[in-house]
A and B are shown apart, each in its own frame.
Chain A
Amino acid sequence: MIRLLKKIYLAVMLLFMYAPIAVLIVYSFNASRSRSVWGGFTLDWYAQLLRDKSIQRALSTTLSLAFLSALLATIIGAAAAVGIHSMRGAFKKTVLAVTNIPVIMPDIVMGLSLLVLYTYLFHFFPGIKLGYGTLLVSHTTFNIPYVILSVLPKLKQLDPNLYEAALDLGCTPIKGFFKVVLQEITSAIVTGAMLAFTMSLDDFIVSYFTKGDGDNTLSTIIYSMARRGVNPKINALSAIMFVAVLLLLYVINSFDPSKAQKANGLGLEGES
C-alpha cells in the first residue's frame, strides 16, 4: 500500500515537472499553428528553423559564447580554487562566501548590476557598446563560481603530502603543481567546465540585460519571437534546447565522482 502511494507520488511529481515540456515537444511536431488543435505530424517547423538566418546567428552566438565563457571561467575558476584552497582561517571563509554569492543571487540582480556597471564604464570608454564582449564578460562572471565549487572539494580530499612528495623528488612548486596536483584534479576541472557550458546555454536573464541590440542568444530570440505572437518554430527550438541540455547533463553526471575518488584514496590496510 505504502509502496503504491510512493509510486503514485513520484509519478505525480514527475508529471508536474515534465508535462509542460512534453506538451511543448509534442506540439513542435504539430502541423497546425494552433496550440490546442492537433493538425497531424510534421517536421516543417524544424525545417523552417534551420532556414531562419537570425536563428542560425543566435545559435552560433550561443555556442561560441558558451564555449568561450566556459573556457575563461574554467581557467580563472580553477586557479581561484587552488588559491582559495591554500588560504587559511577567517580570510578563506570570507573569500569562499563572496565567491558563492553569485550562485544564490537572483539572476535578475546579477543581470541588472552588470548592466549598471557597463553603462557606468561606458562613460570612460565611449567607443565601447553592449554586445558580444559584454555578453562574454557576463557569462564568464557567473560561470566562475560553478567551476570553483566543483574543483574545491576535489582539492580538499587530495592528500597534501602528494604535492610535498613532488617537491621532495625535485619538482619546483610550479612543476609540482602541473605534474601532480593538476593531474589529480583534472576530472573536477572538466566537470566544472561542462557545468559552466550548460549554465551559459541555460541563461536568459543575464543575457537579456547585457546583450546589445543586434545580438541574440537562442533564449533571447525565443523570448522576442514569443512576444511577437505565436510561432510554432519556438516550440521546435525550445525542444532542441531541452534535449541538448539534457544530453549535456547526462554527460556531466556520467563523470562518476566515486570513480575519481577510488583512484585517489590508496587502500592502506592489509597485505594481500
Chain B
Amino acid sequence: MNEREHLIDLVDIEKTFGTSTVLSNINLFIRRNEFLTLLGPSGCGKTTTLRIIGGFERPTRGDVIFDGKSILNLPPYKRQVNTVFQKYALFPNMNVAENIAFGLKIKKADSRYIKRRIEEMLKLVNLSGYDKRQVTSLSGGQQQRVAIARALVNEPSVLLLDEPLGALDLKLRKEMQMELKNMQKKLGITFIYVTHDQEEALTMSDTICVMNAGVIQQMGRPEDIYNEPQNVFVAKFIGENNILDGVMRDDFWVEFAGKNFVCVDKGFARDEAVDIVIRPEDIAIVAPGGDNLAGVVRNVTFKGVHYEMLIESAGFVWKAHSTVMSQSGQEVGMRIAPDLIHVMRKSEYSFIDALPETLVERAGLSNAERGVYTMPVGVAASSATH
C-alpha cells in the first residue's frame, strides 16, 4: 500500500455548543511528518479543533479522516494520537517515572522495556535523574517536559499540543520552541500545535492555519502567510502592517493614498475596491520630492535593530522601519517597490476599523500596533507628541 500524503483530513467540520457555533466549515489537511500550527486569537476554536482530532469532542457535522479512514466513531483510547494538554494534566499522585510509564503500563508492556523507555524519554526531554521526583514539586517548564515525554513514549503518529509554552517565561519559551522543533524533526512525528502567538507560529511551523471566530482564514507556509495575507484579519494578526483602502485601476496598476502605483497583481475587475497591505520594513525612506509619497515624521522610536517611525501622509499615519534615524517633524519621501505592495480582495474584515478590543488584548497586540492603521490625523499627531 502506498502511503497517503494526507495523514489527517478534517472535512467540512461544524461544531456547536448549545446555540453557539464554535467551528464552521473547517476543511483542512495535515501531511505526514508535518508541523502544522493552528493560529488565532483566544476563543477562536483552536482547542475545540484539537479536541475533535483527539476524540474528546464530536463534531456536530463533518468527518475526521485518519490515513484514509474515518475515525469519527473511534474513542480517544483507540486513536493513534496523543495530547499534551494546555495545563499538562499530569497525574498528581504519581511521580515522574509513573506518569511517563502510564500509557505503556495500560498496554501491558514488558517491565524491562518500560524501564528502558522511561530512561530514553527522560533523556529526550532533558530530565534524566528526575524519575523519582513528584510532579507537583517540578517547575512549569519541567512539568511541560514530563507531559511531552508521557505522550511521546507511546510513539503516536500525531502529537497534539495545546499552547504548550503558554505558561512559560519568554526565555524558556524560546528555548523550548527550538527543542520542540528539533524533537519533531528527529522523531519524524506529525505535530499539530496550537498557539495564539504569531511569532511562535512563524518560527516553528511547516504550515500555519490562521483561524478566527471558528473559521479558517488562511492556510499556507509561514512565508506565504506573512508575505501574502489573504485578508485584513490575517494581515493584522500576523504582523504590524500598514493597511489602506485602494482601487485596482487596471492589471498591474493600483491607486491608494491619492497616488497611482505600479504593482504585480492582476485579475481584478476594473476599478475594484481592494485592501492594500504594506509592511513597515518594505517602506524605503528617501529624500522628499519626485514621485514618492511625501510625509512628515511624527514619532521615532529606537527598536534595537531599526528605528520605528510614524509618518503622516495625506491623512494616513504610516508605520515604517529604517536603520537611518530621522527627526520628528522632518519631511521625508517614502518609496515602495511594486512587488512589496500586497493587494487583497475586500473581505468581511475590511470594514472593521480595528480588531475588537478583547480580541486584540488576548492576541497580545499593543494599542499602538492596533491604532496606527486607522488613527485620524489629529489623534495620531497628538499621541505622537507625548
Contact = CB atoms under 8 A, between A and B. Distances in A.
A269 B139 CA distance: 7
Nearest to B168: A271
A159 B77 contact: no
B92 A184 contact: yes
A12 B336 CA distance: 87
Interface in B97-129: 102-103, 106-107
Contacts of B106: 169-171, 175, 179
Given A267-B140, A269-B140, A170 B77 contact: yes
B102 A169 contact: yes
Q: For chain B, give the interface size range.
A: 35 or more
B85 interface: yes
Q: What does DSSP make chain A's interface, helix, strand, loop or mixed?
A: helix
Given A162-B89, A264-B92, A170 B168 contact: no
Contacts of B85: 161, 164-165
A29 B221 CA distance: 89
B321 to A, nearest CB: 33
A162 B103 CA distance: 13
A262 B136 CA distance: 8
Contacts of A271: 139-142, 168-169, 172
A74 B80 CA distance: 38
Contacts of A76: none
A180 B99 CA distance: 11
A164 B56 contact: yes
Given A175-B106, A262-B136, A270-B140, A169 B154 contact: yes
A73 to B, nearest CB: 25
B76 A168 contact: yes
Given A263-B136, A271-B141, A271-B172, A183 B77 contact: no
B167 to A, nearest CB: 5
A272 B139 contact: yes
B90 interface: yes
A183 B93 contact: yes
Given A159-B89, A271-B168, A169 B150 contact: yes
A184 B140 contact: no
Given A159-B87, A271-B168, A266 B135 contact: yes
A268 B92 contact: no
Contacts of B142: 271
A169 B143 contact: no
Contacts of A175: 106
Contacts of B307: none
Contacts of A166: 91, 102
Interface in A138-172: 159, 161-162, 164-172
A266 B99 CA distance: 14
28 contacts: A164-B56, A165-B85, A165-B91, A166-B102, A167-B56, A167-B75, A168-B54, A168-B76, A168-B81, A168-B82, A168-B83, A168-B151, A169-B151, A170-B106, A172-B77, A180-B91, A183-B93, A184-B93, A262-B136, A263-B92, A264-B92, A265-B92, A266-B88, A266-B92, A267-B139, A267-B140, A269-B140, A270-B140
